Structure 1
Amino acid sequence: MKQLTKTLCVLLCIFAGIQMANAQMLEAGQEQPAGVVIYSLPQTSVMLTVVAEKENFVAGPYAQYAQKYMGSEARTVDQVTYTLKSIDLAPYLEADPSTRIALNLSGRGTGAANFLQLCSQGLIVTSDSYTGKPESWRFPSIANNDVFAGKDVNGNLTSATTTLYKTVNTAEGFQRVAVSQSQVVEKSLEKKAQETANTIFDLRKSRMQIITGDTDATYSGEAMQAAIAEITRLEQEYMSLFYGTSTTSIQTMNFDVVPTAKTANQMYVAFRISESEGLLPPNEVAGRPIVLVLNFDKPAEISTGGVASGAKPVVAGTVYYRVPVVATARIMDGSQTLLQTRIPIYQFGQTVSFPLNSVLK
């Protein structure tokens, strides 16, 4: 992997006059010797690039009448939902802050060149080997409350006829005479839903007539295609008054996991996802956990990756480096496996020494 072969090799060097005969592991808080190179051993961090899709659904104003006039039920409540779309897993090398090693390269012949070559091969990682990671950011989508404005088939007003009665003095006496009076009133919501449904069915009928040629007008070529496309557009627009409309946006975030030997069963909550809040960090309890599980081929060989404080110094002219172990990494959503791959884990590998003056080819 490119991330594992590209290592950070800019060294923090302090040159004074004190000479050392070999590599020496520095304890926490120990003063840094002068005239030596300080380097760190590599550790693996796992970066997950997660993409979720946000759907913002706005229910149609005629949703409650969809079953009656359109023959199928519609969602009647506005809702925001997040769906997990993709996960990318990439291991990165970085300097292990728990290990600092002092090494004197002066008077070692090919030692300095070999040390740099070890850096290029990923065996040693120094403090500046950070390869860089993209910032996590998201694209929020703000729903427009007027998404259905102007989509009514007919106007909002209608004419209502009211029958009134007045008393008229006739030869036979006083009689009640009916008088009709028309006035403009607002249409009821159900009335507008009914008119919209009728228009949808009329559009479908007109489209079928154009396709089958059962019409007085003649359509051919691009004219037929344009007419059908416009009828379909109007149909979808009026259908949204019953079945609502949805807008989608993408949320992308990066999550990092650094495996440690102290974690039991090597299970890590990488991140969480909530259907209403989207991607969340692992310490949030609002969403369901997405877990990173590491399984090693040979658990008995796993070590903490360090060097025991009581160990004797290595032979003069040698350098410490790490040999990684290979683990099977799985991303789990409950009992469902979302992703599985094999990655090297440096901090669980063996820390060994290498004769620095040996010729590397």
Structure 2
Amino acid sequence: MIYMPRGIKKIKMKNILKALLLIVMFAGATESRSQFINPGDKIPAGAIVYSLPVTSLHFIVEVTYESFTAGPYARFSQKYLGVQAREESGDAYQISNVEVIPYIEADQSANIALNLGNSKTASANFMEMINQGLIMWSDSYAGKSEKLRFPDMKSNTLFVKSMSTSNLTSEKSTLYRTASSPTGSERSAVQQSQVVEKSAEKRAEESANMIFKLRTKRLEIITGETDATFSGDALRAAIDEINRLEDEYLGLFFGKIRSGSQKMSFDVMPKADNEKQIYIAFRLSDTQGLLPSNNLAGRPIVLELLKESEQPGVTMDVTSGRGRVVYRKPAMMNLRLMDGQNVLMQSRVPVYQLGNLLSFPLEIATGKL
């Protein structure tokens, strides 16, 4: 048995205690720790703040429209042309294309302070979770540009040039005056002429006559029954000009149609506390086209989110603690966009705020998830 002096024993015990204390202090300094941050809370020194992700649904909608403007002589078309014309102006809109893009943003109501310490493994795992989209920096935002609506296309100026014919006419009336003569009083007629504005029916009659004249002249040119000779490009140009004039005059009776497209974008943020998961994505008006969800002038286009039934429910203690990071696992949802009973589109989208909260130990030396 080896005998050791009492002083040497004390020195060894002190060294052992110092080593143990250093190990404990080093472990406490390098161990990662996370905690939820409530409004008004002070962020711990040396901690980084991250947020849990939320999904917003960005809809890009395109509609086609037809804007019909009735002709000013529509009510006379049956009388002078023998065809009944539409007398009421109106617009018609129809959805032609819908695209949905899920955007991931930082949930400003779910901020977490995390102290990674000096652990390279924890830092690597944390950055990998950022790259995977399971967590986000607290200032992350997916910005989108606004879309502008087009102005009203309906205007009476469509017919201004076509109506620019003579608007005045001469009316004659016969007046009678009584004059004295040796044989007695005599009544004599006096012709009086004055310039007045033509009535709408008179202008409609003249326009109808011009249509028939143009058709007659076109037939004469095609059959060669004219004094002038047309051939090649000259014949084509003459026929095209007659067709253009005929369309202008016919537009005075049958109106004009302008068609085009309208494109707008809308955003929907699903809420976890919405039990039915039914939202109004946007609205569609028969007179104004695409409208935001809060404009009651149009009928609602309804968004419905249905959770896939085969997803198992997972429960985990995600309270603040050491050595782990809290993240969100998205829920896969079946998306349906409805216009009344008509299904406009169906798709599957991951929605983070409707999923589960989980935690992951950062000290696992994987580097990837």
Smaller-chain TM-score range? Answer: 0.7 to 0.9
1:152/1:135 CA distance change after superposition, 3 Å:
closer
Supply the distance in 1 between the matched residues of 2:310 and 2:219 (Cα, whole angstroms): 68
Deviation at 1:230, TM superposition (A): 1.4
Corresponding residue number in structure 1 for 2:51? 40
Deviation at 1:333, TM superposition (A): 0.7
1:358 aligns with 2:366: yes
Q: Determine which structure has the larger helix proportion and give its number.
A: 2
Larger deviation, residues 134-143 vs 117-126: 134-143
1:353/1:67 CA distance change after superposition, 3 Å:
same
Match of 2:109, SS?
coil
Letter in 2 for 1:332: M
Deviation at 1:291, TM superposition (A): 0.6
Deviation at 1:94, TM superposition (A): 0.6
Match of 1:205, SS?
helix
Pairing 1:99-178 to 2, within 5 Å after superposition = 99-141=110-152, 144-152=155-163, 154-165=165-176
1:179/1:253 CA distance change after superposition, 3 Å:
same
1:221/1:240 CA distance change after superposition, 3 Å:
same
Larger deviation, residues 256-265 vs 245-254: 245-254
Larger deviation, residues 76-85 vs 286-295: 76-85
Match of 1:264, SS?
coil
Supply the distance in 2 between the matched residues of 1:92 and 1:191 (Cα, whole angstroms): 62
**Does the 8 A contact of 1:26 with 1:99 survive in 2?**
yes
**Does the 8 A contact of 2:167 with 2:198 survive in 1?**
yes
Letter in 2 for 1:124: I
1:330 to 336, 340, 346: 336
Corresponding residue number in structure 2 for 1:273? 284
**Does the 8 A contact of 2:69 with 2:257 survive in 1?**
yes
2:295 to 280, 284, 288: 284
Deviation at 1:336, TM superposition (A): 0.7
Corresponding residue number in structure 1 for 2:350? 344
Pairing 1:17-28 to 2, within 5 Å after superposition = 21-28=31-38
Pairing 1:244-283 to 2, within 5 Å after superposition = 244-247=255-258, 251-283=262-294
Match of 2:294, SS?
coil
Deviation at 1:193, TM superposition (A): 0.2
**Does the 8 A contact of 2:52 with 2:106 survive in 1?**
yes
1:19/1:315 CA distance change after superposition, 3 Å:
closer
Supply the distance in 1 between the matched residues of 2:209 and 2:80 (Cα, whole angstroms): 8
**Does the 8 A contact of 1:114 with 1:359 survive in 2?**
yes
Deviation at 1:72, TM superposition (A): 3.2
Deviation at 1:102, TM superposition (A): 2.4
Letter in 2 for 1:50: V
1:241 aligns with 2:247: no
Supply the distance in 2 between the matched residues of 1:302 and 1:148 (Cα, whole angstroms): 66
Rg comparison, structure with higher value: 2
Give me the CA root mean square deviation. 3.4
TM-score by length of 1: 0.79
Deviation at 1:168, TM superposition (A): 7.7
Corresponding residue number in structure 2 for 1:63? 74
Deviation at 1:222, TM superposition (A): 2.3
Larger deviation, residues 175-184 vs 67-76: 175-184
Match of 2:213, SS?
helix
1:241/1:302 CA distance change after superposition, 3 Å:
farther
Larger deviation, residues 72-81 vs 343-352: 72-81
> 1:24-66 CA distances to partner (integer Å, 9 max, x unpaired)?
3405334322212211121111011233456655432212212
Deviation at 1:135, TM superposition (A): 1.5
Match of 1:319, SS?
strand
- Unmatched tracts of structure 2, length 5 or more: 1-27
Supply the distance in 1 between the matched residues of 2:341 and 2:30 (Cα, whole angstroms): 54
> 1:92-126 CA distances to partner (integer Å, 9 max, x unpaired)?
00112232222222321233233223222222222
Corresponding residue number in structure 2 for 1:6? none
Larger deviation, residues 203-212 vs 283-292: 203-212
Match of 2:325, SS?
strand
1:283/1:167 CA distance change after superposition, 3 Å:
closer
Identity of paired residues, percent? 46
1:72 aligns with 2:88: no
Supply the distance in 2 between the matched residues of 1:142 and 1:157 (Cα, whole angstroms): 31
**Does the 8 A contact of 2:31 with 2:116 survive in 1?**
no
Match of 2:72, SS?
coil
1:196 to 198, 207, 224: 207
> 1:140-176 CA distances to partner (integer Å, 9 max, x unpaired)?
2475554433423741222334344556889998665
**Does the 8 A contact of 2:318 with 2:359 survive in 1?**
no
**Does the 8 A contact of 2:73 with 2:204 survive in 1?**
yes
> 1:183-210 CA distances to partner (integer Å, 9 max, x unpaired)?
4333221111011012112223333444
Larger deviation, residues 103-112 vs 337-346: 103-112
**Does the 8 A contact of 2:30 with 2:118 survive in 1?**
no
Letter in 2 for 1:207: R
Supply the distance in 2 between the matched residues of 1:71 and 1:327 (Cα, whole angstroms): 59
